[in-house]
């Protein structure tokens, strides 16, 4: 059964890897990580504006502040590696290489969207990219990610699945069942806990009696690792180890990334709220995963300030182009309402 507690549970050290560690990551990868984060940030900020302006229907759960987690994990994955996501799923798909036009078209509920306008923000998916869906049910993803991992092992591929979930979802029974099965069968899976400190609007200390979700890993017989989820290189390094371990057939890891949601659970606002202080938000914003990373890249001589600004500008252009495409694309025809409830048999019947 492997080596439980290989990384320790509660005693696992929080990551404190400095710039010297970053030298082990290639310059190319550092820029890749930066680019992934910027794409998520700008995608989400623009989506938030559109939502507030009433141009996008329904609810949006924005990923701003947590970009280092998706970027650091997804940089290790290929298309055939699967992920399950959460209600806060745009960032995961952007980081996995999702097409921005199809993503925005879906947020607008248009025919050209990833889900032909039938899923929306909470069900955005790209199975060809191994993105098995954002999920409107907290805790809905872990059992499905276990199924994908089972499938990878059964089919003898070298692929892994990564299950993104929050501190809130770690209280769902599905997480417990999934973690137990994954460890029991030594499945190639990484449970990536995005601990942003809140289950919806309830602070972590009011929804669970532990501080570190990673504490739970040992009880399933898997290592639990804690990293600074605002530090993309820390996430990248730790995810790399966990994913490599899974690929080697050594079983699952619970990787807890301590992060923070700059906006609200749903929508944009985020400040002036009863459930957290503005001071707390500002403190976390000082640790903005993109701004702090850009400072480090600048110090390392990898990315000058004007170069970073040019990247933001280019991504913003790409995002706005995707928005224009989406908003100008047609809505689904009402005749498709009953299509795709079932997969039709080859003969056309069901």
Footprint on this chain of other proteins (rule: CB under 8 A): 82, 84, 113-119, 123, 125-128, 132-133, 135-137, 139-140, 142-152, 154-155, 161, 173-174, 177-178, 180-181, 184, 339-343, 345, 349-350
Nearer to other proteins, 274 or 345 (CB): 345
Q: Least Å distance between CB 217 and other proteins? A: 17
The whole-angstrom separation of Cα 163 and Cα 146 is 8
> For the residues of 270-328, what is the DSSP string, one character each?
-SS-SSS-HHHHHHHHTT-HHHHHHHHHHHTTSS-HHHHHHHHHHHHHHHHHHHHHHHT
Nearer to other proteins, 189 or 235 (CB): 189
Nearer to other proteins, 286 or 350 (CB): 350
CB under 8 Å to 280, separation ≥6 — which residues?
none
Nearer to other proteins, 104 or 262 (CB): 104
The whole-angstrom separation of Cα 19 and Cα 93 is 28
Conformation bin of residue 26: beta by default, left when phi > 0, alpha when psi is -120 to 50? beta
CA dihedral (189, 133, 144, 345) in degrees, to 10, reads -130
Q: Least Å distance between CB 122 and other proteins? A: 9
Nearer to other proteins, 148 or 235 (CB): 148
Q: Least Å distance between CB 350 and other proteins? A: 6
Phi, psi of 205 (to 5 degrees): -70, -5
Residue 23 DSSP code: T
Q: Least Å distance between CB 195 and other proteins? A: 22
Q: Least Å distance between CB 181 and other proteins? A: 5
């Amino acid at each position: 059964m492997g080596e439980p507690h290989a990384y320790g549970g509660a005693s696992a050290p929080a990551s404190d890897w400095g710039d010297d560690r970053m030298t082990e990551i290639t310059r190319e990868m550092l820029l890749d990580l930066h680019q992934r984060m910027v794409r998520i940030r700008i995608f989400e900020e623009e989506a938030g504006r559109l939502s507030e302006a009433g141009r996008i229907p329904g609810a949006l759960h924005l990923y701003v502040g947590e970009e280092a987690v998706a970027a650091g994990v997804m940089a290790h994955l290929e298309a055939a590696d699967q992920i399950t996501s959460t209600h806060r799923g745009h960032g995961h798909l952007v980081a996995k290489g999702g097409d921005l036009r199809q993503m925005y078209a879906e947020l607008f509920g248009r025919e050209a969207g990833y889900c032909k306008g039938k899923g929306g923000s909470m069900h955005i998916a790209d199975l060809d990219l191994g993105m098995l869906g954002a999920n409107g049910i907290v805790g809905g993803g872990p059992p499905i990610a276990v199924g994908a991992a089972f499938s990878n092992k059964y089919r003898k591929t070298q692929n892994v699945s990564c299950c993104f979930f929050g501190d809130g979802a770690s209280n769902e029974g599905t997480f417990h069942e999934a973690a137990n099965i994954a460890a029991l069968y030594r499945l190639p899976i990484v449970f990536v806990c995005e601990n942003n400190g809140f289950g919806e609007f309830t602070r972590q200390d009011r929804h669970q009696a532990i501080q570190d979700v990673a504490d739970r890993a040992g009880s399933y017989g898997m290592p639990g690792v804690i990293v600074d989820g605002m530090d993309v290189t820390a996430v990248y390094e730790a995810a790399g180890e966990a994913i490599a371990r899974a690929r080697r057939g050594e079983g699952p890891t619970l990787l807890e990334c301590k992060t923070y949601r700059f906006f609200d659970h749903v929508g944009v606002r985020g400040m002036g709220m009863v459930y957290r202080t503005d001071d707390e938000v500002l403190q976390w914003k000082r640790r903005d995963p993109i701004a702090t990373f850009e400072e480090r890249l600048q110090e390392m001589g990898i990315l000058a300030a004007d170069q970073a600004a040019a990247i933001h500008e280019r991504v913003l252009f790409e995002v706005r182009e995707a928005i224009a495409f989406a908003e100008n694309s047609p809505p689904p025809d009402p005749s498709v309402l009953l299509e795709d409830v079932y997969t039709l048999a080859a003969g056309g019947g069901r």
